[in-house]
A = this chain, B = another copy of it.
Amino acid sequence: MPKLVDHRKRRELLAQAAWRVIRRAGLDGLSVRTVAEEAGMSLGSLRHYFGSQAELLAFSMRLVSEQATRRIEGLPYTGEPRADILLIIAELLPLDEVRREEAEVWLAFAAKAVSDPAIGELYREVHEQLYAGFRRMLEGLAAVGLAKPGLRLETETKRLHALVDGLVLHHAAAPERVTSEDMLAAVTLHLDSLLERPAE
């Protein structure tokens, strides 16, 4: 069904145009018009793919999460839990241009979630997916007996989630103050602090 594939592909290209607008001008700079212009498409054509600005926004936010999830599903896992968790978390950190783009779009949604209930709903959808992912990581460590005894799963999940998102925010807003190396060092230290016996 080449036509369906094209339709999906076109929607992704438009969402990526939306990302560029968001990075340049913030969510307030985004409209179906600015995205159509950015994509070099007429407003009429865009409306063929997205019936409303809300639909475009929702697809654009979800694509950030889907793109990261696809990468995570394709990672070269080692079977060693500590190493594999570091591989996953690294995909969530803005360590290259692709992940920097995701991080900046996510941060724009997070900041706007405060005052815009519709954006808030989209933000929370991604927040919940991330929370569930971090929770699975820690449950996995506990299941194979690698986690420190007495690990408080819910608080530890929220702590790890907040640490990672805080690092993403710091690097996006002040990359020379919190570098790629800083992000990885903080996450590694954190993970080791949760393990019964940290890696030598």
Q: Give the interface of A toward B (CB within 8 A).
A: 23-29, 104, 107-108, 110-115, 120, 123-124, 127-128, 131, 152, 155-156, 158-159, 161-167, 169-170, 172-174, 177-178, 182, 185-186, 189-190, 193
Whether A158 contacts B178 by the Cβ 8 Å rule is: yes
With A and B bound together, what is the CA distance between A158 and B114 in angstroms?
A: 25
For the complex of A and B, the 4 pairs showing the least CB-CB separation, nearest first, are: A166-B166, A162-B166, A111-B111, A28-B28
Q: Which residues of B contact A120 (CB under 8 A)?
A: 173-174
Chain B nearest Cβ from A166, distance in angstroms? 3
Q: Which residues of B contact A186 (CB under 8 A)?
A: 155, 158-159, 162
Chain B nearest Cβ from A50, distance in angstroms? 22
Which residue of chain B has the shortest Cβ distance to A167 in the bound complex? B162
Q: Which residues of B contact A182 (CB under 8 A)?
A: 155, 158
